[in-house]
Amino acid sequence: MRSIKDSLQGLLKSDSNFRERYEGIRKEILSNPKVEAFLVEHQENISQDMIERSLMKLYEFIGQSTNCNECQSLEECKNILKGYEPHLVIKDKMIDIQYNKCIKKEMHDERRKLQNLIQSVYIPKDVLQATMKDFALDDGGRLEAINLALEFVAGYEEGKMQKGLYLYGPFGVGKTYILGAIANELAKRHVSSMIVYVPEFFRELKGSIQNNTLDEKLDAVKKVPVLMLDDIGAESMSSWVRDDILSPILQYRMQENLPTFFTSNFNFEELTHHFTYSQRGEAEQMKARRIMERIKYVTTPVELKGKNRRS
């Protein structure tokens, strides 16, 4: 059986049209800036014969994206292996392609892992695509919220004490959307975040006691680099939720300088009232004030006003 190289040589000699097309593709490959840079960098280990034998791999390489920012989402990835960026390597005296996970694939897999563990991780489709530039600035509080969000993203450093935001206001003014935009900006910088829908999360934790997954889920929420608790105050209030779940989460994150964000329909005063009275009607003002002090310590409050954009 003839080798591919011998077959190509035969076509090059016998078919002038094929030879012309082949030379055009060869020129396109070798003039590609990334291919040129690789050949120069490894010139001591690459022979002309190796280049000729590797043209098909090089052609596969130049037809793909090596910059994750060229794709709006993982689903739109144009590469042969979705979510994997190609890198040229030398292997077995040939130029080959090694595929590594891109940023969006890493974040997608991490989110999927968290969603498998915590079902109340709340990431609607519109939030997944949220961007700062698409956020309307026509209503009160929006400009301040976006400016503070941009400052947070620009200044984020692992282990550095940074305040998150406490976004409060009526339904549909874009509180969760801002969280999604922050999460997507952080993802571009390889920073993991988690948006958790609080009412479902607390209900889920109650069920986790029976299957012994409570501690594992709490650890995931405690330790994620940036935590976003969506719709705090909408949960059914109980002493267990306040003192055994929310309080340890916030205490750990304060100690480890892990930023935390909140959205709520309540301002601080209204949230204090919510934490004061449990379902049983018990008034525990000291415990309510204690947890509110933690929330105030880790966040900057921003009120969002305006029309309900969901209606």
The values of phi and psi at residue 89, to 5°, are: -140, 165
Chain Cα centroid distance, residue 284: 38
pLDDT at site 299 = 96
Q: Supply the pTM of this predicted model.
A: 0.65
- Name residue 88's beta-bridge partners: 97
What is the C-alpha to C-alpha distance for residues 119 and 221, in angstroms, rounded to an integer? 12
pLDDT reading at 236 higher than 80: yes
pLDDT tens, position by position, 22-34: 788 888 888 888 9
Q: Is 169 exposed, middle or buried (0-12, 13-18, 19+ CB in 10 A)?
A: buried
Name the more confident of 106 and 158: 158
pLDDT reading at 132 higher than 90: no
pLDDT at site 1 = 38
Name the more confident of 227 and 107: 227
DSSP symbol at 139: S
Q: Is 22 exposed, middle or buried (0-12, 13-18, 19+ CB in 10 A)?
A: middle
Chain Cα centroid distance, residue 207: 28
The values of phi and psi at residue 104, to 5°, are: -65, -35
DSSP symbol at 79: S
Name the more confident of 136 and 219: 219
Of the listed ranges 14-28, 157-171, 179-193, 200-214, the one predicted with least confidence: 14-28
List, in order, residues 6 or more apart from 80 with CB less than 8 Å away: 60, 64
pLDDT at site 113 = 67
What is the C-alpha to C-alpha distance for residues 229 and 97, in angstroms, rounded to an integer? 41
pLDDT reading at 263 higher than 60: yes
DSSP symbol at 225: S
**DSSP string of 173-205, one letter each residue:** SSHHHHHHHHHHHHHHTT--EEEEEHHHHHHHH
pLDDT reading at 191 higher than 80: yes
What residue type is assigned to position 59 of the chain?
Y
All domains of the chain in start order, with CATH:
4-101 (no CATH), 105-303 (3.40.50.300)
pLDDT tens, position by position, 76-95: 677 777 778 888 889 888 89
pLDDT at site 9 = 55
Mean pLDDT of the chain: 82
Longest CA pairwise span in the chain (Å): 93
Please compute Rg for the chain using Cα positions.
27
pLDDT at site 100 = 84
Confidence of residue 308 (pLDDT cuts 50, 70, 90): low
- Name residue 91's beta-bridge partners: 94
pLDDT at site 10 = 52
pLDDT reading at 258 higher than 90: yes
Name the more confident of 69 and 107: 107
pLDDT reading at 174 higher than 80: yes
Per 3-state DSSP, the chain is made up of helix, strand and coil in percentages (nearest 5) of 55, 15, 30
pLDDT tens, position by position, 2-49: 444 554 455 455 556 667 777 888 888 888 889 899 899 998 888 888
Q: Is 107 exposed, middle or buried (0-12, 13-18, 19+ CB in 10 A)?
A: buried
Assigned token pair, 294 = 């933690």
Closest CA to 100 of 90, 85, 115, 112: 85
pLDDT at site 168 = 95
